[in-house]
Structure formats: structure tokens, C-alpha cells
Amino acid sequence: MMTNPTIPKLNFSPILPLIPQNVAVIGAGAAGLVAARELRREDHKVVVFERENKVGGTWVYNPSTESDPLGLDPTRVVIHSSLYASLRTNLPREVMGFRDYPFVAKNGAQRDPRRFPGHVEVLEYLNNFETDFGLIELVRLGAEVRRARLEGGKWKIRSRMRVGEELDEVYDAVVVCNGHYTEPRIAEIPGIETWPGLQIHSHNYRSPEPFQGQVVILIGSSASAVDICRDIAGVAKEVHIASRSVTVGTIGKLPGHNNMWLHSMIESAHGDGIVVFRDGSAVCADVILHCTGYKYNFPFLDTNGIVTVDDNRVGPLYKHVFPPLLAPLLSFVGLPRKVVPFALCEIQSKWIAGVLSGRVLLPSSDEMMADVEAFYRTLDASGIPKHYTHYIGDSQFEYNDWLASECGYPPSEEWRKEMYSAAIKNMEVRPETYRDEWDDEDLVAQAHEDFKCFSK
């Protein structure tokens, strides 16, 4: 296991006696793995339930797609990962990795040394993380949590093995790490019921071949949308991007592409195959591809209405983690969006582990509730819609550093913040080539200097 001379295991001398808890972690993606590591570091007894037969969550590429290409049919067999075959990371590896387990290039036949590697490399990194921290013994593969319910101050967890019976067990605390890129959100389009073409959500996009010679309308402007439209443009007849964030002057044919156009949002769809955009243009299309994001979904969680999902706001949650009325016995890792997920999950997990053992104190539930209400009022006052509650993008480092100070961990490194900003800017300036061209070599050098203390 890697050692870390600069970041101590426990930074606070315990004021209270440390109390080990029996903790159920739901999901063994990046969030669940790092939560398991942090909980065990504080001597909690941990079981990680993982529905799939492998750890890694999103990063376990699955070439299969769901029977309903829009992912709306509740009876469909759910495929967890939304990865497409060509996916490379949208963050540089130095920023993307856990803070005390750097994501450095490694030698080996399966390894991808690029700074923005393909998805297989990320899964290798997570597998190495699991092995190096001996987490295998904590994870129950093929075990889906069907229900988690608080009864008499304890959590009753009902799980079902892929092969075998349902099992009921009792835990002190539950940490929810089930990911939020599986349940599609789709765009509402007037007239879509009569439109004869194929609709699919990016959750079920794997490769461009099925779009050969087709006219495709792609809705969205996220990092996935940017990748997928370029993937498809190589084989499709035409690709039309419908985006909410277009500005006057950018509408029309995209420079550098002979078959890609940018439009405003879709106004309506019609029975003759025509789709009309708000900018007045119209296209007869074969496919509408929704790259329109995902919904939070916790079908197994029964909190008696204490925690709800309302227009993609999971709440009430203190600092996106603890429901004030159920803290610290219920917590969520990895809900914030537009962030660097691994490092954020790592610091949230440290906080949860410390709070559960009594080493780190939370405010009273009234104080936490007041904080949540004040946060919601700030969002309202700034005109931020409810469904952006967990979009903390610009304030993510401030958020991480607040959590770090709560658990006695150092704040984010300056190079990490600067590199993240540089990467986002580079992506905007060079959408086609940002993964292979950059100007922040000085920051890469600083990162590698820092990483030296983590090498074996």
C-alpha cells in the first residue's frame, strides 16, 4: 500500500471516545471504494454492497444497451454505465485522481499513459486502488440493495444476490454511493408523439456505426454531447446540435466540419419527420439523441419521506451529504455535479467517517436544517433553478476545503485548482483537441513534484 508522509491518517486527537460503527456502503464505484477506505481507516466495520459483478461503477464499460433506448421503461433491465466506446477522460489525470493516490501513468500492456486516458485506464486505476488498500474483502459483488429502512434507530438492509436468496441484515449507518448517471432525463418536445424517427438517450449510446448515413439531431452541450456529436459526424449524413446555450452568431454550420450545424432548442416535432428549431430552421431527421443528463434515483431508500428527490434536488441535505434529521446515520457521497468527482468523494468520505466515529462534530439538526434553508434561499435569490441545487462547479474547491478543515485535512493544492481552471478553459478554446494539446506543463511538473511523496 502507498504510504503518505505528508497527509496524516487522523489529524485531530480524539476528544470523544472513537465509536466504531457497522456501516453499509451502497455501491462500489469510485465513491463507494473511497468511502470504504476512509471508514475502515477509522476502524468502522464496513460492508460494500455492489449490484454488478465488478467494482468501478461508471467505469465498467458495458457494450450492451437497454431494451428501451430512451431508458424510460421502468420494467427494462437497467444497465448501469453510460460510457461509450471512444470515451477519454475530460479531466487531466493529475486532477482527476484521489488526492492521496495519484492517477499517474503506469507501464504495462493494459495501461494507457495519455494525460486524458481512455476509460479502460480509469477502471485499471480503480482496480489498483481497491487492491492496494485491500478493499476486496469489504465488497460483496452481485449484491443489490433492494431496501434500506430505518427501524428503531437501526438500518434494516434487504439485499439480493444475483444468484440466491434475499438477505435481511441490520446496520448502524448507511452511506449511499449509488451514482447518478444511470436514470435518463429527456427533453420535452411538443409534437414528439407523432414524430416517426428513433429517439435515444446518450445513456444508451455506445458507438457511431448505427448512425451511418442518418440525419441526427443531438440535444445538449455537455462534455458527452461534444464528444458524441463528433463521434457520429464521422459516419452520419448530417448532425444538428440543439443547444440551450447558443448565442446569436454561433448558429449555423460549425467551422471545420462539413456536416455539423448548431441550432437553438427544438420548438416542435412533426408527423412528417420534420423538426423545427426555435431559430426558425427545420430539418427532416431520422434520430433525436438526448444528451440531456440524468436524474438522482434511490429506489431502495425508505426514509419515511424525510429525504426526497424533487426536481433533481435531493434534500434536505446538509452540505449535500447529511439529512439533518437522520445524521449521521444516513449520508450521501458524490451528489455534487460539475465537479472533480474523485477528490470530492474522498473528502466527503473522510468527513462521514470522522463524524460517525465521533471524532468530528456536526451542528445540531436544527442548525443543519437552518443552514440548508439558508442555502436554498440563496439559490432562489440568485434565480438558480431547483434542479441545479447540486451544481457546485465554481465553488467546489471552497466546498472541499471547508470539508477538509472540518476533518483536519490539508486544503486542495494550488496547482490542482489552477490546473482544473486551465483544463476547463482549454476545453472551451480547443473543443476538438484539448485532450492532446495544452499549455500548463508547469502545473504538471508541480503536480508530479507533489506526487513523489506518494510513490512506493
Q: Summarize as ranges the residues that interact with ligand FAD (CB under 6 A).
A: 26-32, 49-52, 57-59, 80, 82-83, 87, 89-91, 96, 144-145, 177-179, 181, 224, 300, 334, 341-342
CA proximity to 3, closest of 415, 452, 341: 452
We find the least distance from the C-beta atom of residue 146 to ligand FAD, in angstroms, to be 7
Output 95 or 275, the one with its CB closest to ligand FAD.
95
Output 57 or 354, the one with its CB closest to ligand FAD.
57
We find the least distance from the C-beta atom of residue 224 to ligand FAD, in angstroms, to be 5
We find the least distance from the C-beta atom of residue 273 to ligand FAD, in angstroms, to be 29
We find the least distance from the C-beta atom of residue 237 to ligand FAD, in angstroms, to be 25
Output 59 or 318, the one with its CB closest to ligand FAD.
59
Please tell me the distance from the alpha carbon of residue 382 to that of residue 369, in angstroms, as a whole number.
Answer: 20
We find the least distance from the C-beta atom of residue 153 to ligand FAD, in angstroms, to be 23
We find the least distance from the C-beta atom of residue 289 to ligand FAD, in angstroms, to be 13
We find the least distance from the C-beta atom of residue 366 to ligand FAD, in angstroms, to be 30
Output 33 or 233, the one with its CB closest to ligand FAD.
33
Output 112 or 267, the one with its CB closest to ligand FAD.
112
We find the least distance from the C-beta atom of residue 375 to ligand FAD, in angstroms, to be 22
Output 49 or 434, the one with its CB closest to ligand FAD.
49
CA proximity to 421, closest of 91, 136, 187, 45: 91
Output 59 or 277, the one with its CB closest to ligand FAD.
59
Output 204 or 357, the one with its CB closest to ligand FAD.
204
We find the least distance from the C-beta atom of residue 333 to ligand FAD, in angstroms, to be 7
The answer to whether 279 and 354 are in contact (CB under 8 A) is no
Beta-carbon contacts of 356 under 8 Å, excluding residues fewer than 6 positions away, are: 19, 21, 23, 39, 42, 44, 173, 328
- In our burial notation (b when 16+ CB lie closer than 10 A, e otherwise), range 160-178 reads beeeeeeeeeebbbbbbbb
CA proximity to 159, closest of 48, 54, 234: 48
We find the least distance from the C-beta atom of residue 115 to ligand FAD, in angstroms, to be 12
Output 83 or 353, the one with its CB closest to ligand FAD.
83
Nine-digit cell string for 350: 473522510
Beta bridge partners of 269: 275
- 438 to 90, 361, 394, 423, 447: CA distances (angstroms): 13, 43, 21, 8, 15
Please tell me the distance from the alpha carbon of residue 219 to that of residue 184, in angstroms, as a whole number.
Answer: 13
Output 90 or 268, the one with its CB closest to ligand FAD.
90
Q: Three-state DSSP class for 276? A: strand
We find the least distance from the C-beta atom of residue 393 to ligand FAD, in angstroms, to be 13
Please tell me the distance from the alpha carbon of residue 306 to that of residue 410, in angstroms, as a whole number.
Answer: 33
Please tell me the distance from the alpha carbon of residue 25 to that of residue 27, in angstroms, as a whole number.
Answer: 6
Kindly tell me the burial class for residue 75, based on how many C-beta atoms sit within 10 Å of its own C-beta (0-12, 13-18, 19 or more). Answer: exposed
Nine-digit cell string for 35: 468511502
The answer to whether 21 and 172 are in contact (CB under 8 A) is yes
Secondary structure (DSSP) of 214-226: -EEEEE--SHHHH
Please tell me the distance from the alpha carbon of residue 124 to that of residue 69, in angstroms, as a whole number.
Answer: 29
Output 232 or 269, the one with its CB closest to ligand FAD.
232
> Taking the CA of residue 112 as centre, how many other CA atoms within 13 Å lie in the half-sphere pointing to its CB?
17
